[in-house]
Structure 1
């Protein structure tokens, strides 16, 4: 296998792993979805045109990537929802997990995700034409 083909395979593997983490992030607030999907898009773009087009046109994943690439921001309601789901799930996890180092790790991850979300540019959603009239 040539070096170029090997690199493409490695990129597909990394992109697929990132996609898996992004998918888990949809259901588990501790993992941020958008950064993993953007990382997936990065690796798929450099390895497989077919996988990249599948990703950006996917009925679920495509919206995350399209909105972020187009606007470089997320709506305020998305920020609020992410934080409202994140912290209660972390607090419940802290209650049930007996290991102190794991508790510290969870708080660090949640804090990092919170800072990341807050620092993202907030997009003002466009109003419908009918609402504006």
Structure 2
């Protein structure tokens, strides 16, 4: 018996004393999936930057996180991009969200909620969505500004 792990749990080991690294055949498909998802987030982020309906920065932050795990080259590209990078860099540095983005996001959620009321969603559904919107808005509005 050999003691292993942070908590010193006793674990029975076979003849193999060290864990083998994950198979590269499994790592490569996961890396490619994360890479593809990152590019999808970049696309959604760009759409979000030019339309008032969708938040762009959230998708760019997610894309940077995905690129970190799939392609450091494209993570650097995103972080140094003159239009897409500054909000991601500010978020990573201090969790900062520009004031205009905070107000735009909160206003968009309020407008979306008003539209949902207007089209006649049921009260329980409105309650769930309203609670989520208030929570997200509260979080955003309490972040430091860039």
User: If the TM-score is normalised by the length of the shorter chain, which range does it land in?
Assistant: 0.5 to 0.7
Rounded Cα–Cα distance in structure 1 between residues aligned with 2:107 and 2:142:
16
Structure label with greater radius of gyration? 2
Partner in structure 1 of residue 21 of structure 2 = none
Contact 1:15 1:41 (C-alpha < 8 Å) held by counterparts: yes
Quickly say closer, same or farther: Cα 1:45–1:73, change in 2 above 3 A: same
The equivalent position to 1:15 in structure 2, one of 35, 38, 46, is: 38
Q: Structure 1 stretch 111-120 or stretch 11-20: which is displaced more?
A: 11-20
Contact 2:87 2:97 (C-alpha < 8 Å) held by counterparts: no
Structure with higher RCO (Cα < 8 A, 6+ apart): 1
Query: Cα offset for 1:9?
Result: 0.9
Rounded Cα–Cα distance in structure 2 between residues aligned with 1:58 and 1:113:
27
Partner in structure 2 of residue 72 of structure 1 = 95
Query: Cα offset for 1:69?
Result: 2.1
Q: Does 1:99 align with 2:121?
A: yes
Query: Cα offset for 1:95?
Result: 0.7
Contact 1:32 1:113 (C-alpha < 8 Å) held by counterparts: no
Contact 2:41 2:63 (C-alpha < 8 Å) held by counterparts: yes
Q: Matched residue pairs, number?
A: 121
In the superposition, the TM-score normalised over structure 1's length comes to: 0.67
Q: Which has the higher helix share?
A: 1
CA deviations on 1:31-62 (whole Å, 9 max, x unpaired) are 54333322211111221133223322334321
Query: Cα offset for 1:73?
Result: 1.3
In the superposition, the TM-score normalised over structure 2's length comes to: 0.62
Rounded Cα–Cα distance in structure 2 between residues aligned with 1:54 and 1:94:
42
What 5-or-longer segments of structure 2 have no aligned partner? 1-23
CA RMSD of aligned residues (A): 2.8
Contact 1:79 1:117 (C-alpha < 8 Å) held by counterparts: yes
Q: Structure 1 stretch 70-79 or stretch 46-55: which is displaced more?
A: 70-79
